[in-house]
Structure formats: structure tokens, C-alpha cells
Structure 1
């Protein structure tokens, strides 16, 4: 992984100014302790290899954004952020706050959510193949039609999480007690439903 210290360090004000002038390429930038990016529109921005550390993106619109290739979002606040359809392959959301964030249709292959707080987050139709959830909070999250093949789900309870039509083939350490199951493909390839299911 690239050393964050080698990245171009810019302020949130500078980032927004350049974005408003039409710039979308912010690869390899470093943004830290920013309180000025909440509720902003960052559609189609390119944060490949960027380091956004302790940044505040509450309710930001990052639809169709590109965070692929080792983008680091450690300890940042994305409460209510819109990531619909975004390319987030391999993005690190470790210790991030993702409550009520919208990841529907996003590509999250290999993303890391270690110790992330994703209460009531929407992962409907998201591609989470090979993603890692370690001690993550998914209380009230929605994962209908998501792809969780070969995901690592260590010490992450799914109680109350809607896993209707989710593919968990090959997922490791899945704790699915209390999860909502309907046509759910289990880690062993079997298909399961339970009485708590909301059919869709």
C-alpha cells in the first residue's frame, strides 16, 4: 500500500474550489481533519489512492464517484452520505461512521469495514464480494440483493439485517442468528428463508 505521507496534502477549501471549477481528478491527495465537506455534492470525483483521514462527509453526495485502488477513509464521518453506484473497490472504511449511508448498487469488492459503524446503512444491490467486516455495527442495515460471496464477517452480528436474495456463498465466520432470510444463498450453498422475512 502506498505511503500516505507521499500524497499531495490539500485543504477542504482548496478541494471544493478546484471541484467547483470543474476538476474531478483528486488521485493521491491527502485530506485530514476536515469539517467543511458535509452536505456537499462530489459526484464523479476521483479519489483513487487518496487518504481522507478524520474527514467530515456527512450527507455528502458522492454518487458515481471513484474511490477505487487503496483509497483510505480511516475514521471519517460519512453519516447519510450518498454512494449510490460509486466505484469503491478495495476502499478502507476502517473505524468510519457510515450510519444511514446509501451504498445501493455500489461496487465494494474487497472493501474493508473493520470496526465501522454502519447502522441503518443501505447496501441494496451492492457488490460486496470479498469485503471484510470485522466487529462492524450493521444494526438495521439493508442488504437486499447484495453480493457477499467470499466476504469475511468476523464478529459482526447480522441480527435484524435484511438479507433477502443475498448471495453468501463462501462467506467466512458469518453470524446470521436473527437475520432476515428470504431466498438467501448461505455460505454452504444452501438456500434459506425464515418466518421473519419480508418477501420482495
Structure 2
């Protein structure tokens, strides 16, 4: 599916886009509330400065997706694959990243507030300058930076 088609359907009230392929889609700056993208494929998708509020992305594949400066509020990434995702300066407020794979993801200067990273894989993730507030880390401990 093309980004333009998704946005048109979304504007018409459709929210269920499970299991669709949006690889390379340009959704930069899109505001998507309560969208269902579970098990979708968004490889190398452009979501820079997008706003995802209460979005569902369980099992979604976001290999090398660009989420730089995105606002991800109460978004569910359970078991999502965010390998090499660009999340520089992203804001993750109450994001659910349980068992998500963030292998080699770029989270530099990201802000995570009350996020849940339980059992998430952060192998090789870039975390320089990232800030964590009341965030549950992969090992189960809470992290709250000053």
C-alpha cells in the first residue's frame, strides 16, 4: 500500500491496517491516532516527526525506519522489530516496548518517560544522550535520570 492511500483511508475513518506492507512509505509528519499497524511491514519507512498516539504496532517490522523526532505516546511496540531504526530525539511517552528488538537502533538524545522496555533487546543500540524517566529497563529495574 502506498502512503497516500493509507492517509486517504485514515482520513475517511479507517484505522485497521494490520499486516500491510508500507516499506519505504513516506509518512513524515503524519498524525496517526489509534491506528492499528500490528504485524505490518514498515521497512525503511519515513516517519520522521510523525505523531503516533495510542498506535498499535505489535510485531511490526520497522527495519531501518526513520522515527527521528517522532512523538510516540502510549504506542504499543510489543515484539516489534526496530533493527537499526533511527529514533534520534524521539519522544517515547508511556511507550510499550516489551520484548521489542532494538538491535543497533539509534536512540541518541531520545526521551523515554514511563516507557516499558521489559525484555527488550538493546544490543548495539546507540543510547548516548538518551534520557530515561520512570522507565522500566530490559532487566526489570526502573531507571530515572536526573
TM-score, normalising length: structure 2: 0.88
Question: Whole-Å Cα distance in 2 between the matches of residues 156 and 135 of structure 1?
Answer: 5
Residues 1:103 and 2:82 aligned together: yes
Kept after mapping to 1: 8 A contact 2:121/2:138: no
Q: How many pairs align?
A: 141
Q: 1:136 to 1:158 in 2, by over 3 A?
A: same
Which residue pairs with 1:146 in the alignment? 125
Which residue pairs with 1:135 in the alignment? 114
Q: 1:75 to 1:30 in 2, by over 3 A?
A: farther
Which residue pairs with 2:35 in the alignment? 55
Kept after mapping to 1: 8 A contact 2:120/2:138: no
TM-score, normalising length: structure 1: 0.65
Kept after mapping to 1: 8 A contact 2:118/2:139: yes
Runs of 4+ off more than 6 Å: none
Write the mapping of 1:60-99 to structure 2, written as runs, cut at 5 A. 60-68=40-48, 70-99=49-78
The structure in which a higher percent of residues are strand is 2
Higher Cα Rg, which structure? 1
Kept after mapping to 2: 8 A contact 1:117/1:137: yes
Which sections of structure 1, spanning at least 5 residues, go unmatched?
1-15, 162-171, 175-200
